[in-house]
A and B are shown apart, each in its own frame.
Chain A
Amino acid sequence: MTPMKTAVVVFPASNCDRDMITALEKITGQKPHIIWHQDDDIPDVDMIALPGGFSFGDYLRCGAMAARSPVVRKVIEHADRGGHVIGVCNGFQVLTETGLLPGALMRNESLKFVCRDVHLKVENNDTPFTNAYEQGEVITIPVAHHDGNYFADPDTLTELEDEGRVVFRYVDKRGQAGANPNGSRNNIAGIINRRKNILGMMPHPERLIEDAQGGTDGLGFFKSMINALN
């Protein structure tokens, strides 16, 4: 069994790259490749992570500059070949800006930066990123963002819902709607593409992988990838 090979892309002003690197190293037993945004060569890996942060100072729009950087062209080629890609927080914003995932992340409805634990319902556990969770399980994961208000036109939302591509939804601790931290349409926290190899989510599973961090609800996210890719 070959261990899962991973890479983490680092943009100027990424700031969750180290958490992601630590999480991937802990789970896979191997240090991920660390790729600077100007590199246009990505080693052969199973999964590429676009981490959280404020790439390029959020200039123009969150993720807009990063989405046009040389390394992201390679990420798109990797995804086109069926390679796995995750985008967390700013990484999710980058994925929507590239068009790899539909919709856009807009300013939070409250206009405030939101940094706290939220409850998520696993809406689809039949993906390479959620198979270690129970269907409908409620997990607690932190969010930390100013622009996490997911928007898509009604046709796209219907398509996402009908195809089971809303993977994580904001809920209260009992798993009910009504605890949306940012105003996102349909309480969407994370979505997947049709081919199920690209996932974007605003909450940060890499911040809850050991007890010292206050919980381990993020561990299932990484264990799922091991199940799917090893």
Chain B
Amino acid sequence: MKARIHVTLKNGVLDPQGKAIQHALSALGFGGVEDVRQGKYIELDLAETDPGKAQAAVEDMCKKLLSNTVIENYTIEIE
């Protein structure tokens, strides 16, 4: 199975890289971009075939390593 994980900064956590991207877009003439939040995308190939077990295992991975829950949120898609 594949797990697709998005890790993003929590609301309220300043994202200086997002701000720099926003300024660069504006400098390129892309107006109307009101906010940019950047994050990480992680893809895992799993040997597990049971979606429920895969979801639980990836949740555990996100909590223990793939995200820092002090500053980040994560979302998981399993297929």
Contacts and interface: CB of A to CB of B under 8 A. Distances in A.
A33 interface: no
Interface string A88-101: 00000000110000
Given A103-B70, A111-B17, A183-B16, 20 more contacts: A60-B65, A60-B66, A64-B65, A68-B64, A68-B65, A97-B68, A104-B68, A104-B70, A106-B13, A106-B16, A107-B16, A109-B14, A109-B16, A110-B16, A111-B16, A111-B20, A149-B14, A151-B13, A151-B71, A152-B70
A31 interface: no
A61 interface: yes
Interface residues of A, number: 20
Interface of B: 13-14, 16-17, 20, 64-66, 68, 70-71
**Which of A106, A110, A153 gathers most chain B CB within 10 Å?**
A106
Contact of B71 (A104, A108, A110): A104
Interface string A62-73: 001000100000
Contacts, number: 37
A106 B66 contact: no
Contacts of A61: 68
Contacts of A107: 16-17
B20 A106 contact: no
Interface of A: 60-61, 64, 68, 96-97, 102-104, 106-111, 149, 151-153, 183
A96 B70 contact: yes
Contact of A64 (B13, B17, B20, B68): B68
Contacts of B20: 111
Given A111-B17, A151-B13, A106 B65 contact: no
A191 to B, nearest CB: 13
A107 B16 CA distance: 7
Contact of A183 (B14, B17, B66): B14
Contacts of A97: 68
A151 B64 CA distance: 19
Given A60-B65, A64-B65, A68-B65, A108 B70 contact: no
A109 B17 CA distance: 9
Nearest to A108: B16
Contacts of A152: 70
Contacts of A64: 65, 68
